[in-house]
Structure formats: C-alpha cells, structure tokens
C-alpha cells in the first residue's frame, strides 16, 4: 500500500512537470504494460487528491518534490513538514467528524418531529418500541418468527422521500432471516402474514442509529420508511 501511494505521488509529479507553459499535458500512447500501469496509477492518485483536497497548489507540490530530489533550497525541515501534513489531516478529520455529528443531530430531531406528527395520521399504529406502521393490505397464513426466513419486496426512503434502497426498483425480491436485519424490520415482519403489504416508519434507534453504512444515503440517526410486501415465509 505504501509503495502504491509513493508511486502514485511520483507519477503525479511527472505528469504535472510534463505540462508545457500553456498548461497542456503531453499526450502519450499506451504501448506497453508499464505504460498502462503508469497511466492507471496517475488516474488513481488524481482521484485520491480530488477526494482529499478542495484546493491543491501544483506549483508548490512540484517545488517541494524538486527541492528534496536535488537537496537544494529546501524551505521546510523534514520533521516540520511531516508535522504540518499530520496536523492538516487531523484538522480535516475533526471538521468532518463535527459535520457528521451536526448532520446526525439534525436527522434525529427531524425524525422525532416526523414521527410525532405521523402517529396521529389515519391508519398509523404504534408499537411499544416506537415502531409505526400502516396495514396497506392484509394477507393470510402463519406469521414469521425469529427462526424464520422470509422473501420480501421492499422500497426504502428517507423522510424527505430520498430512495436509498429498493428491491422493487431492482425488480428482484430479497430473502433473509428475520433476525438478520435492523430491529424495526425484525419486529415489523413478525406482525405480517404472507401476501400482506405494510408501510413501516422506523425510528433511528430501531434502524442504523448513529452508524449507518459509510458512504450511503442514510445519515446517522435517520428515521427510515419502508413499503414492505411479505411474499413468502420459509
């Protein structure tokens, strides 16, 4: 991993240095395996830099690279340079953590307000745990238990209507154990019979809480809404 990061940085320098005075990069063909690997590493570092920096000074990057390579005109001592980089990324991590915390607090407050208003709407039932649901269609047969496996169709949204997951959109039902999902699902599924359709309104503490899947549309402490059709109990 360290070697890849080093090669990526070197490639970036070579690419930037190859720019002419007008800022155009010299175009080369990919004739060998090494050509392709070199280009791929350049692509990789570009994606990482774009993901890590809103702004990046190419000229100073090149200056630092050349100064260390030639051991001349070095402006910063190595220890200080390392400390600067470390401090910068620590600051970025703190800022990101603060933003995530702020988003989570807002999502939690929005969810509490939504559920408080939703519970008085026609057809909404609330369980002791706080799960809210509406029976859209009642089926028949045996309800699943914690030992059951089920086959379902579902459509999941945030309270603002954003779709984050949907077997309906994919056109393919999903199968899983009743206890292999979030708490709100485990509880809600056991209320249903095969052929029934319910709408679940799941508080954040019965969903993913403060730890949703990284990089997804679900923010920390989000209240979730699911349209669920129970197709089969196994």
The residues assigned a catalytic role are 154, 164-165, 182, 208, 226
End-to-end Cα spacing for the chain: 45
Q: 75 Cβ partners below 8 Å, 6+ apart?
A: 64, 67
**Alpha helices (H) along 145-222:** 167-170, 183-189
Q: 148 Cβ partners below 8 Å, 6+ apart?
A: 177, 178, 233, 234
CA distance 12 to 43: 9
Within 13 A of 170's CA, how many CA atoms are on the CB side?
A: 13
- Structure-token match 């920096």, residue found: 53
* CA distances in angstroms from 219 to 29, 112, 201, listed in the order given: 43, 15, 16
Q: Are 62 and 182 in contact (CB under 8 A)?
A: no
Q: Are 233 and 175 in contact (CB under 8 A)?
A: no
Within 13 A of 228's CA, how many CA atoms are on the CB side?
A: 29
Q: Dihedral (C-alpha) 93, 96, 102, 107: value to the nearest 10 degrees?
A: -120
């Amino acid at each position: 991993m360290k070697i890849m990061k080093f090669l990526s940085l070197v490639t970036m320098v070579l690419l930037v240095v190859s720019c002419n005075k007008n800022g155009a990069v010299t175009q080369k063909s990919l004739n060998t395996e090494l050509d392709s690997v070199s280009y791929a590493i350049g692509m990789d570092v570009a994606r990482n830099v774009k993901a890590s920096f809103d702004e990046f000074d190419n000229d100073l990057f090149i200056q630092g690279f050349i100064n260390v390579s030639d051991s001349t005109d070095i402006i910063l001592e190595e220890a200080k340079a390392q400390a600067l980089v470390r401090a910068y990324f620590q600051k970025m991590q703190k800022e990101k953590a603060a933003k995530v915390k702020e988003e989570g607090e807002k999502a939690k407050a929005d969810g509490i307000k939504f559920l408080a208003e939703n519970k008085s709407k026609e057809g909404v039932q609330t369980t002791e745990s706080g799960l809210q649901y509406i029976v859209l269609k009642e089926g028949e047969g045996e309800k699943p238990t914690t030992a059951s496996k089920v086959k379902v169709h579902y459509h999941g949204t945030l309270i603002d209507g954003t779709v984050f997951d949907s077997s309906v959109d994919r056109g393919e039902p999903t199968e899983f154990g009743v206890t292999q999902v979030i708490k709100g699902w485990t509880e809600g599924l056991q209320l249903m019979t095969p052929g029934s359709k319910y709408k679940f309104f799941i508080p954040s503490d019965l969903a993913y809480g403060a730890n949703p899947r990284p990089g997804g549309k679900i923010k920390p402490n989000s209240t979730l809404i699911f349209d669920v059709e129970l197709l089969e109990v196994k």
